[in-house]
């Protein structure tokens, strides 16, 4: 997807929609963090950070 966005910046639009799963305790918080980052123009950076730490986040009950 990122490659397509780079190759065709005027033709490709990517839309992410949050769908937090109930089985993941931190899914709602992660979705809220991503939305807050999006309001600052940093959605993709936050999304990538969340996905990179997915396994650690889903078991961490101490997220702020």
Q: In this structure, is residue 10 part of a structural domain?
A: no
Q: In this structure, is residue 1 part of a structural domain?
A: no
Alpha helices in 13-53 (DSSP H): 27-39, 43-52
pLDDT of residue 16: 83
Q: In this structure, is residue 3 part of a structural domain?
A: no
Q: Which two tokens stand for residue 12?
A: 């490709």
pLDDT of residue 39: 96
Q: In this structure, is residue 44 part of a structural domain?
A: yes
The number of helix segments (H) and strand segments (E) in the chain equals: 4, 0
pLDDT of residue 36: 96
pLDDT of residue 25: 81
> Measured between alpha carbons, how far is 12 from 6 in angstroms, rounded to an integer?
9
Q: In this structure, is residue 9 part of a structural domain?
A: no
The segments of the chain whose pLDDT lies below 50 read none
Q: In this structure, is residue 50 part of a structural domain?
A: yes
């Amino acid at each position: 997807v990122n490659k397509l966005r780079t190759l065709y910046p005027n033709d490709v639009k990517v839309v992410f929609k949050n769908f937090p799963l109930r089985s993941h305790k931190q899914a709602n918080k992660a979705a809220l963090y991503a939305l807050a980052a999006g309001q600052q123009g940093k959605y993709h950076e936050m999304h990538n950070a969340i996905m990179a730490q997915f396994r650690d986040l889903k078991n961490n009950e101490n997220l702020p």
